Structure 1
């Protein structure tokens, strides 16, 4: 009987945590992130974990050569991946607690210092910071 009660309690807690996480993701909006070159000639958008969603390369960027463009795409993808990880972390960490935060860190989702976020990340947080 006590085992069944404990299983029910854990199931209820997991359900509440899932609902809270869904609410936070709904408030956060998209957890994809974009990074762009200072001149805007190259931009990269990724989903959490770094999966590419979009890469934009202008004609001007192509003048620098394929190797330079490839290097810039890789650097921007890494920046966007860190930003996306920050969004996931800030949405989930409050509902998962300290053990959940450790798990998020182990998956590469961690908060970034404000100086590594772009203006869209800073202004589009919908109260999650």
Structure 2
């Protein structure tokens, strides 16, 4: 267990902070979350504020869900080499399908 913990720590040191990000196509709303989905940052441009509050709220929820999946993917890709696929999946982190990897910039 100590060896796996040490490998995981080393992986975290190499990867830096793990977050997930998502934004609307026009960049009017952007969110950042930590693994597990806790919001770290929400940015709204003046253009975004032209929409009804219900629309803004729905977009934030959808973006937060997308960002949470991305954070989980990053956590998986960081820890799977150290802990193994089964253990990291048992923690609730999974890789995104290959067709969703366009966000990895």
TM-score normalized by the length of structure 1: 0.75
Alpha-carbon shift at residue 98 of structure 1 (Å): 4.5
CA distance in 1, matches of 2:2, 2:10: 12
- In terms of fraction of residues, the more helix-rich structure is 1
Q: Measured at CA, do residues 86 and 22 of structure 1 come closer, stay the same or move farther in structure 2, by a change above 3 Å?
A: same
Question: C-alpha offsets along residues 20-54 of structure 1, whole Å, 9 cap, x if unaligned?
Answer: 10111111122111101110000000000000000
Aligned length: 104
Counterpart for residue 30 of structure 2: 43
Structure 1: gaps (5+ residues): 1-13, 121-129
RCO comparison, higher one (Cα < 8 Å, 6+): 2
TM-score normalized by the length of structure 2: 0.90
Alignment RMSD: 1.4
CA distance in 2, matches of 1:91, 1:49: 15
Counterpart for residue 57 of structure 1: 44
Counterpart for residue 96 of structure 2: 112
Question: C-alpha offsets along residues 41-93 of structure 1, whole Å, 9 cap, x if unaligned?
Answer: 00000000000000001111111110110010000000000000001111112
